[in-house]
Structure 1
Amino acid sequence: MSTDLSFATIERPDGALVLAVAGEIDMSNAASFATALTAARTEAGTDSFVVDLTAVEYLDSAGLAVLFQHVDHATLVAAPLLAPVLAIAGLDDVTTIKS
């Protein structure tokens, strides 16, 4: 059974592409998360894009592994409770994390 996860692609006024993610990211839906990130990366082209994780309530190692595949093109935005998890995983060493 897959946990609830939703995506929305938004273009900010400055032209930056944002993939807004809401719900829980775990091994049951990590493939969907990977597909959404790949689509956003493709849509952004050579530009970087923003992954808004502020509405993510849970993120396990499968979700972290997916994020690591896109760090060279993604800036992460995380809620205050999720940002330390991303930092402990080492994502702050390879990409920008904003909270």
Structure 2
Amino acid sequence: MTTPLTLTPGRQADGAAVLTAVGEIDMSNAAELAAAIEDTSGALVLDLSGVEYLDSAGLSVLFPHADRIRLIANPLLAPVLAISGLTDLTATAEPPAN
């Protein structure tokens, strides 16, 4: 069974590519995330503010792209990204306050 994950590509006002993920990222759908990241060339803002769960399969998709992604992560994911070492390799930010 595949865990629900929605991936929405877009652009920021400055033209930067954005990929917004909503749901959970685990071994059942990590390949879908990998394909979406690989389909985007150049710098990418990966908005994980709507992600409620991220396991090691999801993390393993992010590491090869650390040099070109900027992560937006909610406070729930921040410790996972820090402990994994991903925050040492890429820029991260919290989502803007509403």
TM-score (norm. length: structure 1): 0.91
Percent identity (aligned): 54
Name 2:46's counterpart in structure 1. 51
Per-residue deviation, residues 55-76 of structure 1 (Å, max 9, x unmatched): 0010000000001011011000
Deviation at 1:80, TM superposition (A): 1.0
Question: 1:73 corresponds to which letter in structure 2?
Answer: R
Name 1:20's counterpart in structure 2. 20
Runs (4 or more) in structure 1 with deviation over 4 Å come to none
Deviation at 1:33, TM superposition (A): 0.9
Deviation at 1:30, TM superposition (A): 0.8
Name 1:69's counterpart in structure 2. 64
Question: 2:88 corresponds to which letter in structure 1?
Answer: D
What is the CA–CA distance in structure 1 between the aligned matches of 2:38 and 2:32, rounded to whole Å? Answer: 10
Deviation at 1:10, TM superposition (A): 1.1
RMSD between aligned residues: 0.8
Any stretches of 5+ residues in structure 2 without a counterpart? none
- From 60, 81, 84, the equivalent of 1:86 is 81
TM-score (norm. length: structure 2): 0.92
